[in-house]
Structure 1
Amino acid sequence: MIYRFMIGNYPDSYWFQYDSTVVANYEFLQCKEIQTNKPLVFKIENKVSEKRLLSYDFFFSDGPEFISPRLANLLSNNQDFLHDVQLIEATIIVNGCSHSGYKALNFLRLISCIDMNKSEYIPLLESLPDGPKEFYKMVFKENINEQFCMARCEESEGRIVISESLRQFFIKNKVKGIDLYT
């Protein structure tokens, strides 16, 4: 069984701004390794509670998603995960203070997982009927044989899915910031 990667109880004020000068946003949609020797930078302009914000494991931005040093450490020995996702060094800036050890997620896998016959959608742009889609109802394919931990959906590259085993890993380790129960 697969699950859609969803934001959990994550406040709007915790969305980061991504500095795309090191790696452009579109490169994260290519499902290819990214080469950089500089850490990616994410920052929040508004004043927030650092203690509360830094208690999360998954973080969201106007660019790629990224994870906490705690979760990066937990995943560092998970070869299945590291086969599917490249972890890229990241620094976050909160209330003017810099924090290192974070990792941006670059998804390397692209799988066909949405049942387009059972899903309801329209083209995002009428002029590109085979382009990006706006889904009203998304149904995942049954019996996906491909083994994966985390991947982009081939039918809608902005959507991320996770496997049952990764979901259980996140539940066991009390990962905070994503919805693991839908």
Structure 2
Amino acid sequence: MIYELMISSCYPDRYWFQYVSTGDDYYELLQCKKIQSNNPIVFKLEKKVSEKRLFSYDIYFSSGPVFISPRLANLLSSNQDFLHDVQLIDATITVNGCSYSGYKVLNILRLISCIDMNKSEYIPILESYPDGPMKFFEMVFKEDINEQFCMARSEESIGLIVISESLRQFFIKNKVKGID
């Protein structure tokens, strides 16, 4: 069984980070290829927030890529199956005027076909490009996915991140905060 990686319903709007381009374009992170860069990806939070509450989360959302806390990065760095599917790229965040390192951007390297297009309801985002990106009204996952993976992007909708049952259980066991 597979699951969509979704932001938690209790993730506060004020914790949405602004992605600051550092030369590594966000588009590159959607290509499912390793990126060679020495520059950390930078995120900024404009609003004043409680750092204690903010830092209690393990997964963060932004106007660009998803990134994770140093705690979760440390937990996942020993999971070879995960590291086969995801490259962890250094990230720096700015909160309340202070800079913090140790965060990691998830550069997902796997692309799998996982949406049952016959059972799903969708339309092309651009009528003139019917084979291009789709807007889904109802998404149904395939039931017969035999591919072994931890985390991947959907071939049918590149922005959609899916996880395996084993990774879901890992997140539950380690009380990962920020996703449903």
| Pairwise TM-score range, normalised by the shorter structure | over 0.9
Instruction: Determine the C-alpha separation between the residues in 1 that align with 2:11 and 2:40.
Output: 24
Aligned pair 1:38/2:39, yes or no?
yes
As a proportion of its length, which structure holds more strand? 1
Name the amino acid aligned to 2:12.
Answer: P
TM-score w.r.t. the length of structure 1 is: 0.97
Structure 2 residues not aligned, in runs of 5+: none
Aligned pair 1:7/2:7, yes or no?
yes
TM-score w.r.t. the length of structure 2 is: 0.98
- Give the deviation of 1:127 after TM superposition: 1.1
Deviation digits for residues 120-166 of structure 1 (CA, Å, limit 9, x no counterpart): 00011111111010100000001200000000000000000000000
- Give the deviation of 1:22 after TM superposition: 2.8
Residue of structure 1 in register with 2:104 after alignment: 103
Give aligned-pair identity as a percent. 79
Residue of structure 2 in register with 1:144 after alignment: 145
Instruction: Determine the C-alpha separation between the residues in 2 that align with 1:166 and 1:89.
Output: 21
Residue of structure 1 in register with 2:165 after alignment: 164
Aligned pair 1:29/2:30, yes or no?
yes
Q: Which runs of 4+ in 1 moved over 4 A?
A: none
Structure 1 residues not aligned, in runs of 5+: none
- What is the aligned residue count? 179
Kindly indicate whether the alpha-carbon contact (under 8 Å) linking 2:46 and 2:95 is maintained by their aligned counterparts in 1.
yes
Instruction: Determine the C-alpha separation between the residues in 2 that align with 1:50 and 1:126.
Output: 45
Please give the root-mean-square deviation of Cα atoms over the aligned residues, in Å.
0.6
- Give the deviation of 1:39 after TM superposition: 1.0
Residue of structure 2 in register with 1:177 after alignment: 178
